[in-house]
Amino acid sequence: MSIRERNPGVESVGDKLAVVLDSVCRLLIFVGAICTIVGVAFLIVNYSNSSTAAGTMLKQAQQNVGLFGTMALVGTALLALSLSFVNWGEEVLGPLLLIAWAVFFFSPMYLPPMLGGGSGETTLGKSAMTAMQTASIPFGSVGLIVVVADIIVRSRTRAREGAKADQLKLGKGLKEEKDIRNVFMGKCWQLPYCRKFVRERCPIFHARRTCWKEQVGCMCEESVIRNAMEGRVIPADAVAAAKFIPENRKLTPQQKSERCRSCVIYNEHQKHKYKLAMPTMILAFGAVYAVFRPQMVSGIQGAMSGINKFVGSATLSQDGGKDLTKTGLGSGDVPFAEIIVVALLVVALAYMIRLVEYLLFKAKI
């Protein structure tokens, strides 16, 4: 007797729990949005009034910045976590969270000119902008986690399954052969879907070539299957066996290539190429970071300063030209320009993986 038969409520309990968690997260999205909007709004109000606040009013404004900064931080945390739970698996989730992080983190670049600029020189104004940057932490951290998790999940799925099942027509549903090892980047007859009874009579096997280069094989060419079923003897010599490789003149090279793209054996070959491409890309991005890290960090700092100068000049603000990497959160020991570089590299890696997936499992190059 199965577990489900003994306790038919096991699955339903899990389903009900998922529904409850989904409902709770949707409520927390609403609560988080309210907290974020209220917190940010009052931070902006206190920033605007920071140049005129004095005495008791200044003390109250400082307390307000602490209170509403915490409210904004709690709100963004609730939003980031709840949105991730409800929308897990959506391709745009990670990038959108990182965009939200950028909107908050770079607020000292565009908010002061929009609000007059002078308040940015006061201690209270700087505290308000720092609180805005602090509120960006949940968006940035959760966004990076989502992007990295998406990379891991997609990579494991593709390395295990390859192309989607509906893209395979030849050999779809075929079980792996047990008599042969799955040789990494091996030839077609070294892959687990090459059937033994065909392989022993296959001229491509005896010629030590591959079906995707010859564009004929045991999954697509009738003559190969017929010769195997008739027990036709193929010479063991590679040169002599090559003469027995059939050549189908009824199909164009494009039609033959399409047969390969829909073949389970070629899909296995593409999975091997994907497994090779993945660590190669990761090492390449790591090498780029190691070699060009100083240039990229200084480039980010220069871009931030340049944009800030442009905004300051366009708005006739006196705050234009400040280096945002040395204000707010950037004034501590955390190298935020470097964090931005890492975040950009992670996002670039995610999209590069999708490009490789398209080339290997859609275009089938």
pLDDT per residue as tens digits for the range 288-330: 999 999 898 888 888 877 776 776 666 555 554 455 544 444 4
Handedness of CA 200, 204, 209, 212 (dihedral sign): negative
List, for residues 55-92, the tens digit of each pLDDT value.
667 778 788 888 999 999 999 999 999 999 998 888 88
Of 206, 240, 262, the residue that ends a domain is 262
Mean pLDDT of 266-278: 92
Q: Within this chain, do residues 332 and 302 fall inside the same structural domain, yes or no?
A: yes
Specify the pTM. Answer: 0.71
Asked if residue 269 belongs to a domain, the reply is no
Of 210, 227, 262, the residue that ends a domain is 262
List, for residues 238-269, the tens digit of each pLDDT value.
999 888 888 888 888 888 888 888 888 998 99
Asked if residue 282 belongs to a domain, the reply is yes
State the Cα–Cα distance between residues 345 and 286, nearest whole angstrom: 9
Matching residue, tokens 């090492």: 283
Asked if residue 267 belongs to a domain, the reply is no
170 strand-pairing partners: 263
Percentage of residues in the chain with pLDDT exceeding 70?
A: 82
Beta carbons of 129 and 65 less than 8 angstroms apart: no
Mean pLDDT of 159-167: 71
Of 209, 229, 262, the residue that ends a domain is 262
Residue 54 pLDDT: 63
* 9 or 151: which leads in pLDDT: 151
Asked if residue 268 belongs to a domain, the reply is no
Residue 327 pLDDT: 45
State the Cα–Cα distance between residues 362 and 211, nearest whole angstrom: 19
List, for residues 323-349, the tens digit of each pLDDT value.
554 444 444 444 678 888 888 899 899
Closest by alpha carbon to 193, among 133, 267, 90, 111? 267
Parent domain of 94 = 3-163+275-362
263 strand-pairing partners: 170
Q: Which helix (H) or strand (E) holds 155?
A: helix 137-161
The per-type count for the chain, helices as H runs and strands as E runs, is 15, 0
